[in-house]
Each structure stands twice: as C-alpha cells, then as structure tokens.
C-alpha cells in the first residue's frame, strides 16, 4: 500500500458518520481519534477508533459544538487533520479557520468558500455570476416598499428567505399582497433570533418541485469533476427521507446542464474537497434553478458511491492531503440504480416523534448490493441529545424497479426492537404507486401519501 | 504495551467474579489501570497514562446489558472512598499543576487545602481555567501528570475531606 495521506485524523463528529470516517481511515491505513461526549463514551465509533477522547458533557453545545475543545483534543492527541463530518461544525467557517491557524488540516473547503456558500444571498450572487440559473428572485430586501415592488416583478406566490438561513428557518410563504407585511415581519424576527442576522431576500415559490443535487469533487490541482445527481424529492417538512440516483425524472440534457453548472460554481469559489450543489427543478416549466451549495460530505453520499463505485470520504481525505482526485471525469460511470432510506428512531404514527431508548434487538440486512451505514447494535442506548438517525439502508441493483424490490425485501428483513423506527413507513412509501412510477415531488409525502393512506388507498 | 478493549473486559470479569476484591491497580509501561468496585457493584475502569499523546489512551467499560438498564453505565464507576472527594476536569484541555513553568505547584500530596484554593489550571487554546479544590481537606493523590491532556470529567486530584 502506498504511504497514507495522514498518520492520524481527528473526527469531530458522532453517530454513523463517525463510523463511516473511521472505516475510510482504516482503508487508508490512518489512525483515528474520535471525539466523544459523555453520552457517546460507549459508542461504536469509540470502540472502533484507535482512540476516543471525551471532550465534554452530553449537550452538543458543550461538546461537539465547542471548537476550542475539539482543536485542543486534536492537537493533544497528535492528529494532523480534522474531519468534521456533517452537521455540527462542518459548515462553520470559523472552525475551518481555527483548524488551519492551529496547524491542523481541515478536511473540507477553505473558510472563504464555506462563508460564501453559507451566506445564501452571496451564494445566489456567485451562482448568477457563474451562469448557474437561480430561482427568479430579489437581492436583499430592506423595506416593505422594496418587497412590494419586487413582489410585482417576481409574482406570487413567493418565499421570504433568511440570507444567513438554512433548515427552513426565517422562511415564509407569501401567497398574496395582504400576507406580505406580516410575513416579512415574522421572517425578519425569526432570522434575527436564529442567526443574529435579519437580512431577507425573496424567491419565487415553485409549487411543484423536485430536489436534484449534483455531487462534485475538487482538488488542489485544478481538477473539478461531478459524480452525477441524486434525487432527494421524497421529503417531509424539508427533511430528506429517501434519496436515489440516478433521478427517475430528469432528462440526460438536464442532467448535463446541471452537472456542468455545478462544476462551474465550484471552480468559481475555488472549491476544495467534496461538495453538493442543490437545485430545485420546476416540474411545470421544466426549468432547474440553483438552491444552495453544501460544503461538506452529505448524509446521502452513499447513493452516489453505490452507483459510481467510488469512495467519497477516502477522496475527501486524499484531497485534503494535497493529492489529486484518484480518477478522471471520463472514468466516472454510473451503473444501475441506488436508493437510500434514512431509518430514524421516530414514530411515524405519532407525527414522527423521536423515540430514544435502549435498542434491545438490532438485526440489519446484508447481502450483495445492500449496504447499512450505522452506529447501532443490540444493547446500544440511543441518547436523547442528538438527531434521530439510526441507520442508512442503501440498496443497489441493475435498474430502478429491481432496486425498489430489493429495498422492500431489505426493509422487511431489518429488525429493530426497543425503539420506534421509520422502517415501516419506508416500506409503505416504496410500495406506493406514485413512488414506483417516480411521480414524487417535495410535497408528495405530506399532500398525497399521507391523505391516500388515511383513505385506505392501496399503493 | 497495548491493552485492548477485550483485555479490559476480561480484567473486569475477573474482578467482578471475585467477592473479596474491591479495588485493583495494575501498572504497565506508561499505563496505569485503576479499577474500583462501585457501591452498586458495577465495575468501571479508567486508564491514566504518563506520556501524553504518545500511546493511544484507552477508555473502556463493560458492554451495556441488552436488557432494562435505563441509563448507560457510568464510565468511571470508581467512586471516592469514604471521606474522599475526587476533583474532576470540568473541561478537556491541558492540565498544569503550577500557574507557569518554573513556579511551585499549586498543591502537593499531603498538603492542606481550602475549598476556594486553586489546585491546578486547565488550558484550552491559551485560555487558562482555574481548578478549585471545592472542599476543605488534604490532598491524597494527584491522578494526572503535569502538562498532560485531560479529558472532560477525568479524575485530577483526590482530597480527603476535613
């Protein structure tokens, strides 16, 4: 084996992604030190890593969100690089900067790239400059008068969005002029409270949208490549539930346009590492628009790994060490179809209420073409302090029909006792006619699936 | 000397099985394993090490029982003996026994301390946090080396209460 890109990596995350990063380290011959809170001391990641180090109490704000503690721990354990995973500090420019200033390699893009993409309005402007079409919308709106003028130009319905935003916070739907003033007021207040920045902008609301995203990789040698798209249209309240590749919906022409646009944007911000450019695809007009860029590894990255046969986390680590991407654009081939179901510790019958607790039985499926990314095991206590993701079940087969069938079989085999899970919910969704036909947009789960279930529709 | 999770589990099993044994200390090169039976009878282990960062520090505990336990078993079941208080690290950082290099250590074993006395400092990125005794008493043990990385909640100093 060639020389590992680093000797020892610090993992500033928990759960399944910490396990995933440790596996990548193992395959590269790199030692791993994983940060754990007191609630994660007996986690699978802690058992698998070369070493686990307790950085603070259970509350994330006192552990996984503490840049100084993480950097001190990384330095104190002799690590050369820090992998932030997703969530927590992964898209905090100040954390990336603190790592570099402390002599640690941050496995991700520069603070400048994180900053420019983190501020949604800046990102939209950059996309515009890179000729990546944005949703028809405004620049920053400073007054009700400006908003009213822009509303006439953009047309109703539209969304107020927080420039510093994310996760739907500071976002308001405005259907007519009477709703404008109160919506603007509450969005401003929410953005100020959530992000300390009340800057708003406006975007045309796309009624019937699919969520398409392009995976890219960029290295320090000027190579920027894409690895195709993922379709993440199956969502509930803006949270992705099921992701697949390729999209069952878009044409090769749209695929090509979006992939090229994503590469252009990455080049524009001198991007480094793995990133995802998200687009909203308007089913009615057939046009796709830039939504945002995520400057980290994503939860759903395995879908792309399954259809391309490439290891994105390994590439991230190599790129951070200054190595070129280990394959070329021409060598990226998408084979077959892959679907990922996010298995959460939630009770679908009780409005997806999270249900932490002790897992008394954990029996995950496993066969060729079935992958389970998880940190759970029989006897594991799902702590109440963090997100409810238990596992990602990913299935790969020759085409979409075969993949759906295989997923249904794998969901049936997946046995989890002790905590509620969304396994049954996924089985119902994948059995539904609309899903099988690829007729799903981002509002389908709430507007079609749930009502059809209530009336006893047999999918 | 590398000690695996499995080794620790078997050591714990031996101690668990012994009825008369409540405390054991094993010393290897650069590694010290100190296990004390807790009041509820559940074992816990913690490693201290003398050289910072050179060898991976292992933390281990018995696998949680798959059954009814409501909370995870505490990692450090080691409890203070009657009349003793363990001062634990309130944060991860570098522990120093003196205010600066060359200065006299805040405390030594056998020294009397008052509750508000500093017994050490923990540095987190050039920010020094004073660690206070918290109780009036006498220093019984100092559990960590000067200038070593301490984890959150790690035992630092043991004080016998007045």
For an interface test with B, the pick among A43, A53, A361, A419 (most B C-beta atoms closer than 10 Å) comes out as A53
> How far is the C-alpha of A400 from the C-alpha of B113, rounded, in Å?
71
Chain A and chain B share a number of CB contacts under 8 A equal to: 91
Phi then psi for residue A71, to 5 deg, are -65, -40
Q: What DSSP assignment string belongs to B22-86? A: -EEEEEETTEEEEEE--TTS---EEEEESSTTTSPPP---PPPPSSS-SSPPPS----PPTTEEE
CB distance A54–B52 less than 8 Å? no
List A296, A318, A342, A371, catalytic entry: A296
- The two structure tokens encoding residue B145: 């080396």
Strand partners, A361: A417
Compute the average pLDDT of residues A396-418: 98
The end-to-end CA distance of chain A, in Å, is 51
> How far is the C-alpha of A373 from the C-alpha of A371, rounded, in Å?
7
CB A393 within 8 A of CB A339: no
pLDDT of residue A382: 96
pLDDT of B51 over the 70 cut = no
pLDDT of residue A257: 95
pLDDT tens for each residue of A27-65 = 999 999 999 999 999 999 999 999 999 999 999 999 999
Rounded to 10 deg, the angle between the A312-320 and A301-308 helix axes is 100
Shortest distance, CA A388 to any CA of chain B (angstroms): 17
Q: Give percent above pLDDT 70 in chain A.
A: 98
pLDDT tens for each residue of A372-388 = 999 999 999 999 999 99
Domain spanning B84-161: which CATH class is it, in words? mainly beta
Residues of B in contact with A76 (CB under 8 A): 52-53, 94, 149
User: Could you tell me which chain A residue has the CA closest to the CA of B123?
Assistant: A72
> Who wins on pLDDT, A334 or B57?
A334
pLDDT of A421 over the 90 cut = yes
Residues of B in contact with A77 (CB under 8 A): 53, 149
pLDDT of A140 over the 70 cut = yes
Compute the average pLDDT of residues A338-345: 98
Residues of A in contact with B69 (CB under 8 A): 358, 381
CB B158 within 8 A of CB B87: yes
Nearest by CB to residue A50, choosing from B54, B56, B124, is B56
For an interface test with A, the pick among B151, B154, B155 (most A C-beta atoms closer than 10 Å) comes out as B151
CB distance B93–A69 less than 8 Å? yes
b/e code A111-134 from CB counts within 10 Å (16+ = b):
bebbbbbbbbbebbebbeebebeb
- The two structure tokens encoding residue B28: 């290897």
Residue B74 CA to its chain's centroid (Å):
13
Shortest distance, CA B124 to any CA of chain A (angstroms): 6
Residues of A in contact with B57 (CB under 8 A): 51, 53
b/e code A40-59 from CB counts within 10 Å (16+ = b):
bbbbbbbbbbbbbbbbbbee
Domain spanning A209-454: which CATH class is it, in words? alpha beta
pLDDT of residue B73: 35
pLDDT of B53 over the 50 cut = no
CA atoms A52, A55, A57, A63: torsion sign: negative
> How far is the C-alpha of A332 from the C-alpha of A138, rounded, in Å?
37
What are the residues whose beta carbons fall under 8 Å from the beta carbon of B104, sequence distance 6 or more? B98
Residues of A in contact with B58 (CB under 8 A): 51
Q: Taking the domains of chain B in order of start, what are their residue ranges?
A: 1-79, 84-161
Its ipTM equals 0.79
Confidence of residue A454 (pLDDT cuts 50, 70, 90): confident
pLDDT tens for each residue of A307-331 = 999 999 999 999 999 999 999 999 9
> How far is the C-alpha of B156 from the C-alpha of B147, rounded, in Å?
12
pLDDT of B6 over the 70 cut = no
Q: ω before A246 within 30° of 0 (cis)?
A: yes
CB A272 within 8 A of CB A113: yes
CB distance B152–A38 less than 8 Å? yes
> How far is the C-alpha of A109 from the C-alpha of A87, rounded, in Å?
15
Residue A195 CA to its chain's centroid (Å):
20
Strand partners, A244: A231, A339
CB distance A379–B65 less than 8 Å? yes
pLDDT of residue B39: 39
Residues of A in contact with B71 (CB under 8 A): 381
pLDDT of residue A175: 95
Nearest by CB to residue A379, choosing from B66, B75, B153, is B66
> How far is the C-alpha of A338 from the C-alpha of A306, rounded, in Å?
6
Q: Give percent above pLDDT 90 in chain A.
A: 93
The end-to-end CA distance of chain B, in Å, is 39
pLDDT tens for each residue of B20-47 = 556 666 665 555 666 655 433 333 333 3
CA atoms A13, A17, A19, A21: torsion sign: negative
pLDDT of B4 over the 80 cut = no
pLDDT of residue A3: 86
Torsion, Cα of A88, A91, A97, A99 (10° steps)? 40
Averaged pLDDT score across all residues of chain B: 71
CB A407 within 8 A of CB A400: no
> How far is the C-alpha of A15 from the C-alpha of A345, rounded, in Å?
13
Phi then psi for residue A127, to 5 deg, are -60, -45
Shortest distance, CA B114 to any CA of chain A (angstroms): 27
CB distance A358–B56 less than 8 Å? no
Confidence of residue B60 (pLDDT cuts 50, 70, 90): very low
- How would CATH label the architecture of A136-204? 2-Layer Sandwich (3.30)
Strand partners, A8: A31
Q: Which helix (H) or strand (E) holds A22?
A: helix A15-28
CA atoms A95, A98, A102, A108: torsion sign: positive
CB A99 within 8 A of CB A106: yes
Q: ω before A157 within 30° of 0 (cis)?
A: yes
CB distance A54–B92 less than 8 Å? yes
Interface of A with B (CB under 8 A): 31, 33, 37-39, 41-42, 46-47, 50-57, 63, 68-69, 71-73, 76-78, 102, 358, 360-361, 378-381, 383
Residues of A in contact with B149 (CB under 8 A): 53, 72-73, 76-77
Confidence of residue B155 (pLDDT cuts 50, 70, 90): very high
Q: Strands of A81-83's sheet, edge to edge?
A: A51-56, A31-37, A8-11, A81-83, A105-106
Strand partners, A273: A218
In chain B, count H helices and then E strands. 1, 11
pLDDT tens for each residue of A151-196 = 999 999 999 999 988 767 889 999 999 999 999 999 999 999 888 8
Nearest by CB to residue B92, choosing from A42, A46, A72, is A72
Nearest by CB to residue A68, choosing from B5, B125, B149, is B125
Strand partners, B45: B35
Query: Domain spanning A8-107 has what CATH number?
Result: 3.40.50.20
Range from A84-88, A192-196, A233-237 carrying the lowest mean pLDDT:
A192-196
Nearest by CB to residue B125, choosing from A55, A72, A361, is A72
- The two structure tokens encoding residue A414: 């997946």
Q: Is A310 designated active site?
A: no
SS3 content of chain A, % helix, strand, coil (to 5): 35, 30, 35
Shortest distance, CA B130 to any CA of chain A (angstroms): 16
User: Could you tell me which chain A residue has the CA closest to the CA of B67?
Assistant: A360
Compute the average pLDDT of residues B15-21: 60
Compute the average pLDDT of residues A243-264: 96
Residue A230 CA to its chain's centroid (Å):
11
CB distance B59–A78 less than 8 Å? no
pLDDT of residue A180: 96
pTM: 0.83
Residues of A in contact with B56 (CB under 8 A): 31, 33, 50-51
| Cα→Cα distances A201→A158, A373, A442, Å | 10, 38, 22
Phi then psi for residue A427, to 5 deg, are -60, -40
pLDDT of B78 over the 90 cut = no
User: Could you tell me which chain A residue has the CA closest to the CA of B69?
Assistant: A358
pLDDT of residue B66: 32
What are the residues whose beta carbons fall under 8 Å from the beta carbon of B93, sequence distance 6 or more? A69, A72, B122, B123, B124, B129, B149, B150
CB A373 within 8 A of CB A273: no
């Amino acid at each position: 084996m060639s020389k590992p890109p680093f000797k020892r990596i610090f993992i500033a995350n928990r759960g399944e992604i910490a396990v995933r990063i440790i596996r990548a380290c193992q395959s590269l011959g790199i030692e791993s030190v994983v940060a754990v809170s007191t609630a994660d001391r007996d986690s699978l990641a802690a058992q698998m890593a070369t070493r686990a180090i307790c950085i603070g109490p259970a509350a994330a704000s006192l552990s996984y969100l503490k840049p100084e503690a993480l950097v001190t721990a990384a330095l104190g354990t002799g690590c050369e690089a820090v992998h932030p995973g997703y969530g927590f500090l992964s898209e905090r420019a100040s954390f990336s900067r603190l790592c570099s200033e402390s002599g640690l390699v941050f496995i991700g893009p520069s603070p400048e790239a994180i900053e420019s993409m983190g501020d949604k309005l800046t990102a939209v402007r950059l996309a515009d400059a890179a000729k990546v079409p944005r949703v028809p919308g405004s620049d920053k709106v400073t007054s009700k008068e400006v908003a009213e003028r822009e509303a006439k130009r953009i047309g109703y319905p539209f969304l107020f969005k927080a420039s510093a935003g994310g996760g739907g916070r500071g976002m308001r739907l405005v259907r007519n002029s009477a709703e404008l003033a109160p919506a603007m007021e509450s969005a401003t207040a929410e953005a100020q409270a959530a992000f300390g920045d009340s800057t708003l902008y406006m975007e045309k609301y796309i009624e019937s949208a699919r969520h398409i995203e392009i995976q890219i990789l960029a290295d320090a040698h000027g190579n920027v490549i894409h690895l195709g798209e993922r379709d993440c249209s199956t969502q509930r309240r803006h949270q992705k539930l099921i992701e697949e590749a390729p999209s069952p919906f878009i044409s090769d022409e749209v695929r090509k346009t979006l992939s090229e646009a994503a590469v252009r944007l990455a080049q524009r911000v001198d991007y480094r590492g793995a990133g995802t450019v998200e687009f909203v695809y308007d089913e009615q007009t057939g046009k796709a628009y830039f939504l945002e860029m995520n400057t980290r590894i994503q939860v759903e990255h395995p879908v792309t790994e399954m259809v391309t046969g490439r290891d994105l986390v390994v590439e991230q680590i190599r790129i951070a060490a200054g190595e070129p991407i280990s394959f070329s654009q021409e060598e990226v081939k998408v084979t077959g179809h892959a679907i990922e179901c996010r298995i959460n510790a939630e009770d679908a019958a009780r409005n997806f209420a999270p249900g932490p607790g002790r897992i008394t039985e954990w029996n995950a499926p496993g066969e060729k073409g079935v992958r389970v990314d998880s940190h759970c095991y029989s006897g594991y206590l799902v702590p109440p302090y963090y997100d409810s993701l238990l596992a990602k079940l990913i299935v790969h087969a020759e085409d979409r029909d075969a993949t759906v069938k295989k997923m249904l079989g794998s969901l049936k085999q997946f046995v989890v006792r002790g905590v509620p899970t969304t396994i049954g919910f996924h089985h119902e969704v994948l059995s539904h006619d609309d899903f099988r036909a690829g007729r799903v947009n981002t509002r389908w789960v709430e507007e079609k699936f749930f009502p059809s279930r209530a009336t006893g529709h047999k999918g | 000397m590398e000690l695996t999770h499995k080794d620790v589990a078997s050591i714990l099993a031996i101690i668990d099985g012994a009825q008369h044994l409540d405390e054991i200390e094993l010393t290897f090169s650069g590694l010290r394993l100190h296990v004390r039976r807790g009041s509820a009878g559940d074992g816990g282990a913690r490693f201290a090490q003398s050289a910072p960062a050179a060898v991976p520090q292992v933390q281990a505990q018995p696998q949680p029982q798959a059954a009814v336990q409501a909370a995870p078993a505490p990692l450090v079941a080691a409890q203070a003996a009657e009349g003793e208080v363990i001062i634990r690290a309130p944060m991860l950082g570098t522990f120093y026994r003196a205010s600066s290099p060359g200065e006299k250590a805040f405390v030594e074993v056998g020294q009397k301390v008052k509750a508000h006395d500093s017994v050490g400092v923990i540095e987190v990125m050039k920010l020094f946090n004073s660690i206070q005794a918290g109780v009036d008493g006498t220093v019984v043990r100092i559990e960590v080396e000067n200038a070593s990385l301490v984890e959150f909640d790690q035992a630092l100093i043991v004080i016998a209460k007045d």
